[in-house]
Structure 1
Amino acid sequence: MLTAEYFSENIQQFTKQALQWASLFNSACCFHSHGSNTQDPYRKFDILLAAGVTDELFPTPEQPFFTKLKHFIAQHPHQWIPGFLAYDLKNELETLQTNHPNEQGIPDAYFFVPKHLIQINGNQISINSNEPAAVFQQIQSIAVIDNPFSFSGKVQAKMTKKAYKYAFKQLLEHIHRGDIYEVNLCQEFFAEQVSFSPLEAYWQLSTISPTPFSCYFKVYENHLLCASPERFLAKRQQLLISQPIKGTAARGNTPEEDQQCRDRLRANQKEISENIMIVDLVRNDLTRSAQPASVRVNELLGVYTFQQVHQLISTITAQEKPGLHPLDSIQATFPAGSMTGAPKINAMKLIDTFESSSRGLYAGSIGYFAPDGDYDFNVVIRTLFFNEQKKRISFHVGGALTAEAQAEEEYQECLLKAKAIMELLGFKV
């Protein structure tokens, strides 16, 4: 593989051309920080784009996927390896099961070694490929199709509002009995026989909701359009970083209203308690991989503003024990505690009982392993899935329930989190 450096006056145009070029391959992905680097000291790039396959890894029944992935990483040292882990890999890590079918058809996991790797920082473009100059020329020759995104299809809720409130009531009883003290209840929206252009949808979603862990991922007929604001777990040398989100508030219509929304979120005891519970869960998960007494809460209850919502985000770090495989810390913390509840295993059992559909990749993680041994994985939320063969789209939304939760408020919070995707599809929330 050769690496060549280039410069572009218009990075946005080049990125659109590069993604359009990459989408011609069976497998491709684009990680886009949307300018969040100034706020994120742990990020390695502005944009990372991978296309084509040198080698790839799917799950098979014969061997646990995490074991296979360890071998795969060992076979490809000092390579970028992007991929994803679906929520239901929990069944491999704990004595759990999933009772709902995988209607969307996304594999439970997928990783690949790309033929072409494009890294963008500022106006600098680095292309790692056997023929980087040819790749650069091919990308520049692409005529960007900037058609406005349009959607044809009927979006339906897999769980009716009545069913949501019934599940809410049952889970609240488990909380009051002490079986759990927090649980994340999610619901699916879907549409079938749709007319859908995934690239145009991704760019439109990125305009409506630009987020630091945005991602477009194509695996054959499956397209994943992710507008996640949440980091699940990153590794920078020996430092592990997790940044769970718990606590959501709508944006205001004026700067004054917006500040009032931030202030109310910062003082909301229910949202604060949700966040602190998950911080404790993450701290506990990280201790399994951490050097003694190295787990730290670097920031507790930071208020961060995104295009659609304000969020409470906490940052927890730890020094990783020497000698661990990169996957060991991921296995010890997966899936993200912000999407399960606590105690984690009890919460996941109840989730499968009371949710009405498989989560699939939702609440799982998309990310990459870097050549230097670092990695960075998001939490798959605010994400739209499209199966080109089935002509089916799907997205989930959810929220944490605690003893103080109110059913109508939690249901409305779900709709608030669905706002960007529903707006993309032409529906008002």
Structure 2
Amino acid sequence: MRTSIIKHISNTENFKKQLLHWSNQFREVVFLDSNNYTHKYSSYDLVFAVDAFTSIKTDYHNAFEDLYQYQSHSKDWLFGYLSYDLKNDTEVLHSKNLDNLEFPDVYFFQPKKLFFLKGNALEIQYLNMCDDEVDDDFNAIINFQSEFTNYESSIAIQQRIDKENYLSKVGKMLEYIHRGDIYEANFCMEFFAENTTIDPAFVYQKLNEISEPPFAVFFKNKDNFLMSSSPERYLKKEGDKVISQPIKGTARRSFDIEQDNFLKEDLGKNTKERSENIMIVDLVRNDLSHTAKKGTVKVEELCEVFTFKQVHQMISTVVSEVENTISPIEIIKSTFPMGSMTGAPKISAMKIIEELEETKRGLYSGAVGYFSPTGDFDFNVVIRSILYNAKNNYLSFSVGSAITAQSNPENEYEECLLKAKAMFEVLS
């Protein structure tokens, strides 16, 4: 049973910072911030979960079956992530590239302490705990005063694939496209730093302030950290409705209002960017059809351009309806990994990605989110994110772009650097 108490928060932005500071004491933390972004499918301004009562950690072997058993038996809130390499559980695929982050492929936990913020109303749900403990924690949070650790050592960021090699690999991918093996593939490259010490919560706070995205995440599981400024939703289930919102198409922002508006309008009319987006929309429609009621897969928004603090993005919204007998894990399994991070056809694209990329993606281009007690869920796409293993002091972030027949390798390289801009700014 969960104890539920409602509190009024007058200064929500300050409260979020206090909550983030306070969370440092716990081994398990999930901090999901929408940064006050409003959309018709928005649920909460902030969801915060700490302190595992139960948990599941596993590699990709039978991962979805294990997660199904855990989720269906717990009938409670569960928070965690699905790594990209769960593709190896859904198809005959492999991941043999370099992995210095060493995160588990799946991790979820049932939190003892849970917070939901919507407007100025904060709902606190504690598992098997008394009201006094809730009040004690709440008072500790609102009176929490602490400074993040300021590490003076510079972070020497290295590039796993240099520009010349990147252009060569994109050329190889274009050969596959012209041969007809694939129509589109998302090609990514890693930036990394070794022997690095950071304060992950401080890095997350800086990254979030720079970007203010709708699907920001701070995640901690002992020594494994994710600091994400993701603008993209992977998949949400709300009752019998399933929502996917793939992003394909990126343009820079400008301080000049007239030029900024031009860049936004130009993105919306760009035939190459629109074709990327539409190809992925078709892939998502096909993925959703595996669990949808007949005739319910619909495109609600096609190639709409949304503006964020760092970039303009082209986003589509695809929805479906499902029977209540379909398990939430089956819906995720039949659509994972998300099409925006793979390509089309999906299996061929994933094989070519594995051949040309040099780093195991792991949690990057996976998903972080939660399941509700009723089987609803909401997950982001892990992009624009910094990953950190505090045990081996390894830091990593990856960026990528969609390669199609119309791609210019130089332009794709510049798009990757644009997407990496916020991470470089934070770490410098």
1:222-241, Cα deviation, whole Å (9 max, x unpaired): 11001000011100100000
| One-letter amino acid matched to 1:110 | Y
SS at match of 1:70: helix
Mapped pair 1:68 → 2:66: yes
Call closer, same or farther: CA 1:146–1:192 in 2, change over 3 Å. Answer: closer
- Report the equivalent of 1:273: 275
SS at match of 1:333: coil
Q: Which stretch shifts more, 338-347 or 156-165?
A: 156-165
1:66 CA drift (Å):
0.9
- Report the equivalent of 1:120: 117
CA distance in 2, matches of 1:5, 1:402: 50
Mapped pair 1:425 → 2:393: no
CA distance in 1, matches of 2:70, 2:242: 22
| Conservation of the 8 A alpha-carbon contact between 2:82 and 2:363 | yes
Mapped pair 1:23 → 2:24: yes
Question: Aligned pairs, how many?
Answer: 422
CA distance in 2, matches of 1:117, 1:152: 36
CA distance in 1, matches of 2:41, 2:186: 27
SS at match of 2:139: helix
| Conservation of the 8 A alpha-carbon contact between 1:399 and 1:413 | yes
Call closer, same or farther: CA 1:262–1:116 in 2, change over 3 Å. Answer: same
| Conservation of the 8 A alpha-carbon contact between 2:33 and 2:214 | yes
Give 1:178's match in structure 2, choosing from 164, 173, 180.
Answer: 180
| Conservation of the 8 A alpha-carbon contact between 1:151 and 1:196 | no
Give 1:100's match in structure 2, choosing from 97, 101, 104.
Answer: 97
Give 2:284's match in structure 1, choosing from 282, 285, 305.
Answer: 282
| Conservation of the 8 A alpha-carbon contact between 1:22 and 1:52 | no
| Conservation of the 8 A alpha-carbon contact between 2:32 and 2:217 | yes
CA distance in 2, matches of 1:394, 1:376: 25
SS at match of 1:211: coil
SS at match of 2:334: helix
CA distance in 2, matches of 1:141, 1:223: 26
CA distance in 1, matches of 2:292, 2:334: 10
1:372 CA drift (Å):
2.8
1:166 CA drift (Å):
1.3
1:116 CA drift (Å):
0.4
SS at match of 1:203: helix
| Conservation of the 8 A alpha-carbon contact between 2:149 and 2:199 | no
1:65 CA drift (Å):
1.2
CA distance in 2, matches of 1:12, 1:263: 32
Call closer, same or farther: CA 1:150–1:185 in 2, change over 3 Å. Answer: farther
Mapped pair 1:83 → 2:80: yes
SS at match of 1:328: helix
| Conservation of the 8 A alpha-carbon contact between 1:326 and 1:373 | yes
CA distance in 2, matches of 1:209, 1:149: 22
CA distance in 2, matches of 1:149, 1:271: 40
1:317 CA drift (Å):
0.4
Give 2:358's match in structure 1, choosing from 349, 356, 359.
Answer: 356
Q: Which stretch shifts more, 100-109 or 408-417?
A: 100-109
1:203-243, Cα deviation, whole Å (9 max, x unpaired): 11111011001010001101100100001110010000000
Unaligned runs of 5+ in 2: none
Mapped pair 1:48 → 2:50: no
Superposed CA RMSD in Å reads 1.3
CA distance in 2, matches of 1:272, 1:127: 43
| Conservation of the 8 A alpha-carbon contact between 1:230 and 1:243 | yes
Q: TM-score, normalised by structure 2?
A: 0.96
Call closer, same or farther: CA 1:209–1:178 in 2, change over 3 Å. Answer: same
| Conservation of the 8 A alpha-carbon contact between 1:149 and 1:201 | no
- Report the equivalent of 1:299: 301
| Conservation of the 8 A alpha-carbon contact between 2:189 and 2:358 | yes
SS at match of 1:44: coil
| Conservation of the 8 A alpha-carbon contact between 2:197 and 2:390 | no
SS at match of 2:193: strand
- Report the equivalent of 1:3: 4
| One-letter amino acid matched to 1:115 | K
- Report the equivalent of 1:246: 248
- Report the equivalent of 1:159: 161
